[in-house]
């Protein structure tokens, strides 16, 4: 009888040990999400590719403020941020899509979203995450649409922006120009006066000849790149309005009044602050750069010069997209953090216009007076065509404009050739 009870006691003891172990495991699972990797005692590391300039105020805020805060709030998740220049990032994502070397999350130019969605590389956020609509309701509607392709969202806006005219008041005044040019006619007249006064400087600095740089001039002059339905460039890119404004810009370049886009040219933002360029068109990040690197420079801003169609700048901004296949929940946590009020306010303080509605109403953001000109310019800003082949179209534009500006080739003939190439891309 004693032996029988001994065996029964042993069985009961074993069951209690097993139940205790199970209970301990369940408690751990209830207290901490297993998606963080902590249930298995392992950390999860997210790779985040972005194109904030190294050592810029935005990059410093990201790496020194936001990521440490996110990691503290989400034990078990680490974020490895990798800074890659804008054009290189695009190429790296294209190559990675074919070779499988992709980040978990990336900061995407808004125009890249259709391209990577078509290649089935981006996660459909509204289909995957049940709280997507809750997050979306707290973001600006316009920028939110940049992440939508078809019926679903493949990105959420991280920031929005546009460009305004920066002008050096002392240089313009010394040149006989008493205010910022309000029209394109006044702009080109001012370029001539500045060159007469300052032979060794340029009236306007332009860092590139891509759509981002030239579309504002073309749109404001009544021209365009593609038809409204984005099916052809014929009669738009090679229209009289486009030819007219490109001709004026090339004439100004040939006269030594415009520079900045050739290898070896003085960097435009730094050059504007130091007096090499009397004017430039840039975004709010330029103000943050001036404040951190050129504290003595007095920033002057105005609306982009009006053409026959008005003052139409390009709508910019970046979206956050998720490429991860195996860390999607962790990646979504990071994306939500980056578009939260707290994170948006921190980035807003260093020149990144928020897309979070609460952040835009935050007292610290409202106190940033230099946002005013950009918010005004955003009222008429237009987005680049939302087509998956835009990056290739942009390449055709850049090559064509380089040929036009660097040679004396016939502008209409060069644009006609570009139209043929672009229409071929649109038909793919």
The closest alpha carbon to 162, from 398, 382, 397, 395, belongs to 382
Note whether 177 and 284 are same-domain residues: yes
Query: What range defines the domain where residue 168 resides?
Result: 164-315+385-426
* pTM score: 0.79
- CB-based contacts of 218: which residues, under 8 Å, 6+ apart? 224, 225, 241, 242, 245, 246
Residue 250 and residue 202 share a domain = yes
Asked whether residue 319 carries a pLDDT value surpassing 70, the answer given is yes
Same domain, 230 and 122: no
Residues 330/63, Cβ–Cβ less than 8 Å: no
Domain count within the chain: 2
pLDDT at res. 41: 53
Domain of 222: which CATH number?
A: 3.40.190.10
Residues 6+ apart with CB under 8 A from 361: none
281/193 Cα distance (integer angstroms): 19
Decide if 300 is inside a domain.
yes
Q: How many CB atoms lie within 10 A of CB 138?
A: 16
Question: Which residue shows structure tokens 């009289």?
Answer: 240
Confidence check: pLDDT of 25 > 90? no
- Counted residue by residue, the chain has a size of 428
Residues 255, 339, single domain; the answer is no
- Residues 296 and 417 reside in one and the same domain: yes
Mean pLDDT over each residue of the chain, to the nearest integer? 91
Is 182 domain-assigned? yes
346-395 tens-digit pLDDT? 999 998 999 999 999 999 999 998 999 999 999 999 989 989 999 999 99
Look at the block and give the residue holding tokens 């430039």. Answer: 280
> For residue 269, is it within any domain?
yes
Residues 346 and 225 in one domain: no
Can you tell me whether residue 193 is helix, strand or coil? helix
For residue 8, the model assigns a pLDDT of 39
For residues 179 and 38, what is the distance between their CA atoms, to the nearest angstrom? 61
């Amino acid at each position: 009888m004693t032996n029988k009870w001994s065996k029964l006691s042993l069985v009961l003891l074993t069951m209690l040990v097993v139940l205790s172990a199970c209970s301990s495991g369940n408690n751990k699972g209830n207290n901490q999400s297993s998606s963080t990797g902590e249930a298995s005692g392992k950390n999860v590391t997210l790779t985040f590719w972005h194109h904030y300039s190294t050592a810029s105020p935005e990059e410093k805020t990201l790496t020194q403020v936001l990521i440490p805060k996110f990691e503290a709030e989400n034990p078990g998740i680490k974020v490895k941020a990798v800074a890659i220049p804008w054009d290189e990032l695009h190429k790296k994502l294209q190559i990675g899509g074919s070779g499988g070397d992709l980040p978990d999350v990336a900061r995407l130019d808004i125009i890249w979203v259709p391209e990577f969605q078509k290649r089935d590389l981006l996660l459909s956020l509204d289909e995957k995450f049940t709280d997507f609509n809750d997050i979306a309701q707290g973001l600006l509607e316009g920028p939110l649409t940049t992440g939508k392709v078809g019926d679903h969202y493949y990105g959420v806006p991280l920031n929005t922006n546009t460009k305004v005219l920066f002008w050096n008041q002392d240089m313009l005044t010394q040149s006989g120009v008493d205010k910022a040019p309000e029209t394109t006619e006044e702009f080109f007249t001012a370029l001539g006066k500045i060159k007469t006064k300052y032979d060794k400087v340029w009236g306007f600095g332009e860092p590139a000849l891509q759509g981002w740089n030239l579309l504002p001039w073309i749109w404001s002059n009544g021209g365009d790149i593609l038809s409204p339905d984005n099916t052809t460039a014929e009669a738009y890119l090679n229209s009289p309005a486009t030819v007219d404004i490109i001709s004026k810009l090339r004439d100004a370049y040939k006269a030594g009044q415009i520079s900045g886009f050739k290898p070896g040219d003085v960097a435009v933002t730094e050059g504007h602050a130091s007096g090499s360029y009397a004017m430039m068109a840039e975004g709010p990040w330029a103000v943050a750069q001036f404040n951190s690197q050129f504290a003595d420079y007095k920033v002057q801003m105005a609306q982009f010069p009006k053409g026959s169609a008005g003052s139409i700048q390009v709508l910019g901004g970046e979206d956050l997209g998720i490429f991860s296949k195996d860390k999607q929940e962790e990646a979504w946590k990071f994306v939500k953090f980056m578009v939260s009020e707290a994170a948006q306010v921190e980035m807003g303080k260093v020149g990144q216009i928020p897309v979070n509605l609460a952040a835009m109403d935050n007292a610290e953001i409202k106190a940033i007076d230099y946002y005013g000109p950009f918010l005004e310019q955003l009222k008429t800003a237009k987005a680049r065509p939302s087509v998956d082949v835009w990056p290739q179209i942009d390449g055709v534009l850049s090559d064509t404009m380089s040929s036009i500006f660097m040679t004396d080739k016939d502008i209409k003939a060069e644009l006609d050739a570009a139209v043929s190439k672009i229409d071929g891309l649109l038909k793919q």
